[in-house]
Amino acid sequence: MDKKARAKERREKRRQEISLLRTIPYSDHQRWWSPDTVAVVTGANRGIGFEIAHQLAMDGLTVILTSRDTGVGDAAAKVLQDGGLNVFFHQLDIVNPLSIETFTDWIQQSYGGLDILVNNAGINFNVGSDNSVESAEKVIETNYFGTKNMIKAMIPLMRPSASGARIVNVSSRLGRLNGRRNRIGNLTLRAQLEDVDSLSEELIGGAMDTFLQQAKDGTWESGGWPKVFTDYSLSKLAVNAYTRLMARILSDRPEGHKIYINCYCPGWVKTAMTGWAGHITPEEGADTAVWLALLPDLSISGKFFAERREINF
């Protein structure tokens, strides 16, 4: 059997294992949440985000399904409400400061805060073997800075609890620092990004600025950046680095006020982003986000997951 066939077989086996795991209900003592537990999902009008909202609501939480477009967001929430689920819609564009501010005020006034934040909203303009950086600014602005904006805005509103509040960032293996392929060629930068003690917003933002400047002046191809979906991969690399940085910053919060933050790769999923190509369904792609959001006794933070398993950054 060749390498590709073996990988396919492994994938299929893991899919079956996870689909079996999903049929096992949480026991009463594992259920740290209640119908009053509030989960916010960004970009939840379709794709993986919609499924994350669906599955969290099926598990009995109150879900705030957000979308930058009011019409489609409202319609998506109605689908879940018609199924008897506790889902509410609010407009949220993660790159619009006014939209974030309005949402922040609303969630504070309506629920006194939130318990779970799933940063799912994201964009990508490359498909197949394309690698244009024409939309690099937009991609990095949304995937990295939008996610960071949401984390900053929501942290002060995360409600104290014995189980800890949770942040799950939907990322991608394409943004791995140490993947077998698609690495950053600049060894100094890679070492700096790898060392959690030297990580800073300035370091991550500086790397994004350097790339964006090179994308603008046409020199990015010799910059040693990831070769596949360069702008998207870098935006997710920044999300991964920021996850580790925030885990370090949040780690000294006292018991009862803990916030755990992790990221995961959903796999290659059949959604609009991939032109409905991919190995797996949005239901399967949503699984690890929901698992991380609901893990009983979660004390894991600053880690990267795929298919419910920790993987290296």
Ligand X SMILES: NC(=O)c1ccc[n+]([C@@H]2O[C@H](COP(=O)([O-])OP(=O)(O)OC[C@H]3O[C@@H](n4cnc5c(N)ncnc54)[C@H](OP(=O)(O)O)[C@@H]3O)[C@@H](O)[C@H]2O)c1
The residues carrying an active-site annotation are: 232
Distance separating alpha carbons of residues 67 and 44, to the nearest angstrom: 6
Query: Is residue 313 within 8 Å of 243, Cβ to Cβ?
Result: no
CB of 61 to ligand X, least distance (A): 20
CA quadruple 154, 157, 158, 162: dihedral, nearest 10? 170
HSE-up of 119 (CA within 13 Å, CB side)? 31
| Distance (Å) of CA 204 to CA 145, 155, 195, 226 | 11, 20, 12, 15
CB of 270 to ligand X, least distance (A): 7
Give backbone dihedrals phi and psi of 200, rounded to 5 degrees, phi first.
-155, 160
Report the residue number, 163 or 174, with the smaller CB distance to ligand X: 174
Cβ neighbours of 281 (radius 10 Å): 16
CB of 114 to ligand X, least distance (A): 16
Positions touching ligand X (CB under 6 A) are 42-43, 45-49, 67-69, 92-95, 120-124, 142, 146, 170, 172, 265-266, 268-269, 271-274, 278
Query: Is residue 212 within 8 Å of 140, Cβ to Cβ?
Result: yes
CB of 304 to ligand X, least distance (A): 12
Query: Is residue 140 within 8 Å of 208, Cβ to Cβ?
Result: yes
Q: Where are the alpha helices (DSSP H) in the chain?
A: 3-21, 47-58, 70-82, 97-111, 136-140, 147-154, 187-194, 201-217, 230-250, 282-294
CB of 41 to ligand X, least distance (A): 10
Between strands 309-311 and 304-306, the pairing is antiparallel
Between strands 116-119 and 165-170, the pairing is parallel
